Amino acid sequence: MKVYEESGCFDPHSIPDCQELMGLPGPTPTNCHNSLEDTLNVSSYNHHHHEDASAALDMEPHQHYLLDNTTNSHSHLIPYLTQDLPYDQSHWESFNVLPSSSSPEADAAATAAAGAYTTTPDLLSLFHLPRCSFLPNPSISFETTPGSPSVVYDPLFHLNLPPQPPVFRELLQSLPHGYTVPADDKDAAGVGGLYHDGDNGIIQFTRDISMAGRAKDRDKAGKTTKHFATERERRVHLNDKYQALRTMVPSPTKNDRASIVDDAIKYIKELLGTVRELQILVDKKRCGQERSKRLKTEDAASAADAGDVECKPLGDPDQCYNTSLRSSWLQRKSKDSEVDVRIVDDEVTIKLVQRKKINCLLFVSRLLDELQLDLQHVAGGNIGDYYSFLFNTKIYEGSSVYACAIANKLINVVDRQYAAAPPTNSTSL
- Tell which positions 46-105 bind other proteins, by CB under 8 A: 55, 58, 62, 73-77, 80-81, 83, 85-88, 91
Q: How far is the CB of 166 from other proteins (least distance, A)?
A: 10
Q: For 103, phi and psi rounded to 5 degrees?
A: -125, 175
Q: Which of 45, 153, 195, 418 binds other proteins (CB under 8 A)?
A: 153
The residue from 28, 148, 327, 400 that contacts other proteins (CB under 8 A) is 400
**Is 105 or 240 the residue whose CB approaches other proteins more closely?**
240
Contact between 71 and 36 under an 8 Å Cβ cutoff? The reply is no
**Window contacting other proteins (CB under 8 A); options: 137-145, 240-248, 312-320, 346-354:** 240-248
DSSP states of 51-102: T---HHHHHHHHHHHHHTTTS-GGGGHHHHHTS-----HHHHHTTT------
Return the number of the residue (120 or 206) whose C-beta is nearest other proteins. Answer: 206
By CB under 8 A, tell whether 297 contacts other proteins: no
Residues 5-24 that bind other proteins (CB under 8 A): 7
Cβ proximity to other proteins: between 241 and 312 the closer is: 241
Vertex 295 angle, CA 290 and 300, to 5°: 130
State the Cα angle at 391 between 372 and 382, rounded to 5°: 135
Among 134, 157, 179, 418, binds other proteins (CB under 8 A): 157
3-class DSSP state of 343: strand
Closest CA to 104 of 42, 51, 45, 67: 51
Site for other proteins in 164-193 (CB under 8 A): 164-165
**DSSP letter (8 states) at residue 358:** B
Segment near other proteins (CB under 8 A); pick from 16-24, 25-33, 236-244, 345-353? 236-244
Alpha-carbon dihedral sign for residues 178, 182, 188, 189: positive
Handedness of CA 125, 128, 134, 139 (dihedral sign): positive
Residue 275 interacts with other proteins (CB under 8 A)?
Answer: yes
**Selected binder of other proteins within 177, 254, 285, 416 (CB under 8 A):** 285
CB of 280 to other proteins, least distance (A): 10
- Interface pick for other proteins out of 137, 253, 289, 322 (rule CB under 8 A): 289
Number of residues that bind other proteins (CB under 8 A): 98
| Helix 15-23 and helix 27-40, axial crossing angle in degrees, nearest 10 | 70
Binding mask 192-231 for other proteins (x = CB under 8 A): ---------xx-xxx-x-------x--xx------x---x
Contacting other proteins within 106-145 (CB under 8 A):
130
3-state secondary structure of 391: strand
Segment 301 to 330, residues that bind other proteins, using CB under 8 A = none
Calpha distance 171→290 (Å, rounded):
54
381: left (phi over 0), alpha (psi -120 to 50) or beta: left
HSE-up of residue 59 (Cα within 13 Å, Cβ side): 7
Binding to other proteins (CB under 8 A) within 358-397 occurs at 359, 361-362, 365-366, 369, 372, 374-382, 389, 396-397
